[in-house]
Amino acid sequence: MKKWVKALSMGLIVLSLIVLAGCGSGGKSTETSSEKAASGIEERVIKAGIGLNEDHPQGQGLKKFAELVAEKSGGKLKVQNYYSAQLGDDQKMIEALQGGLQEITIPSTSPMVGMIKEFGIFDFPFVFNNEEEADYVLDGPVGQKILEKLPEFGLIGLTYWENGFRNLTNSKRPVATAEDFQGLKIRTMQNKVHLEAFAALGANPTPMPFSEVFTALESKTVDGQENPFATIESNKFYEVQPYLSLTNHVYTPFVFLVSKKFWDQLSEEEQKILRDSAIEAGKYQRELNRKVNGEALERLKSYGMKVNEVSPEEKEKMNEIIKPVIDKFAKEIGEDLVNELYSEVKKARNK
Ligand code: TK8
């Protein structure tokens, strides 16, 4: 019996040597054993949490990500998804990643500005004219440079997904002009650019985690909020917000984050699987998000929302009112980066 076990294990060793030799023969040189240890895929369970619902394009994107990871790892890396802020809101999940208690989250960049001020450039109003311009900037040097600031905060940023252009909803009155913001109590993300910009418009902004927004709107603690159509639909804000204004005032992205504590335990092969899957699922997510945002407005109307257009002249007025706030933050964030942002947008336009 023992001999049999010995023979079998010898056989396995010989077999793995043959396999190793086979792998090596395709490469330029034979890999060292330490490089070998850096490859390979272990059985791992990866907890991924997001703030939005499973039916939202962010949820569908996360599902796609989990499928891709399973496929590329032969089922060894298992991504477990938690939707609808089940693991907490954006800030809480980011902290869980830093502490190594959760592996993945995909928050808005906006509540991260307290940590990395450079993300604040994506809170400037009316920067992008369309989603393709945002892709160009986020996937280009400006977006990537900011991702490089994450590791010192215990986070790895793999890529950007799309949240999209934000539009105002409220329960008080139609909002179609810059003056109409006066006195409106608006929930904003936990972000000083948004806070000061809405304050400049004469509104009464209140920062709040996303998971508390529906209740705050329902109980009229706040009059309004702003988010892309897909979110207004998925979170049923239309049930408690009769007015929708097509402000399109800012494009805010999602950033795909991995816990650095977790990331550092992974082999290069495992890291590549996660990175490739986040980017590939991101392409799907962006496309789906555009499709859903394109169709959701009609559905929101059919649910009874009264929709107001906001003329280019009124948007220009809003922009003028907010300008001193943006100039102040541009200085604070760093004018080199802000100038690079605008020159990249220009490049995207001339493409
Ligand atoms: C979801 C949030 C949300 C964001 C907000 O976790 O807070 O309004 O737009 O989508 O990131």
Distance 107 CA to ligand 1 centre (A): 7
Task: Assess whether the C-beta atom of 52 lies below 6 angstroms from ligand 1.
Answer: yes
Compute the distance from residue 51 Cα to the ligand 1 centre, in Å: 7
Q: For residue 18, is pLDDT > 50?
A: no
Q: Which atom of ligand 1 is nearest to the CA of 252?
A: 9
* Ligand 1 pocket check for 105: Cβ under 6 Å: no
Q: Looking at residue 7, what is its pLDDT?
A: 52
**CB-CB contact of 207 with 110 (8 Å):** no
Model confidence at 340, in pLDDT bands (50, 70, 90)?
very high
State the distance from the centre of ligand 1 to the C-alpha of 161, rounded, in angstroms. Answer: 12
Cα–ligand 1 centroid distance for 70 (angstroms): 27
pLDDT tens readout for residues 96-143: 999 999 999 999 999 999 999 999 999 999 999 999 999 999 999 999
Q: Which residues contact 290 (CB under 8 A, 6 or more apart)?
A: 131, 162, 164
Q: Which residue is closest in CA terms to ligand 1's atom 9?
A: 227
Q: Which atom of ligand 1 is nearest to the CA of 108?
A: 11
- Residue whose CA is at the smallest distance from ligand 1 atom 11: 108
Q: pLDDT tier at 38 (50, 70, 90 boundaries)?
A: low
- Distance, first Cα to last Cα, the chain: 72
Please tell me if the CB atom of residue 49 comes closer than 6 angstroms to any atom of ligand 1: no
- Residue ranges of domains in the chain: 42-350
| pLDDT for 35 | 45
pLDDT at 198 over 60: yes
Dist CA 338 CA 340 (whole Å): 5
Average pLDDT value for residue range 291-300: 98
pLDDT score at 24? 38
Query: Exposure pattern of 76-90 as b/e (b: 16+ CB <10 Å)?
Result: ebebebbbbbebbbb
Q: Which of 28-37, 241-250, 328-337 has the lowest mean pLDDT?
A: 28-37
The percentage of residues in the chain with a pLDDT greater than 70, rounded to a whole number, is 89
CB-ligand 1 contact for 108 (6 Å cutoff): yes
Cα dihedral across residues 269, 278, 145, 261: positive or negative: negative
Model confidence at 39, in pLDDT bands (50, 70, 90)? confident
Give residue 50 CA to ligand 1 midpoint distance, Å: 9
Check pocket membership of 164 for ligand 1, CB cut-off 6 A. no
Question: For residue 347, is pLDDT > 60?
Answer: yes
Mutate to test the pocket of ligand 1, among 102, 227, 256 (most ligand atoms within 8 A of CB): 227
Question: How high does pLDDT run on average in the chain?
Answer: 92
Query: Would the CB of 90 count as within 6 Å of ligand 1?
Result: yes
Average the pLDDT over 255-263 and give the result. Answer: 98
Q: Above 50 in pLDDT, residue 179?
A: yes
Ordered strands of the 204-207 beta sheet: 204-207, 185-188, 224-227, 167-170, 243-246, 306-309
What CATH number was assigned to the domain covering residues 42-350?
3.40.190.170
Judge whether 96 and 88 are in contact, CB under 8 Å: yes
Residue 23: CB atoms within 10 Å = 13
The residue-averaged pLDDT of 201-211 equals 98
User: What mean pLDDT is predicted for residues 135-163?
Assistant: 98
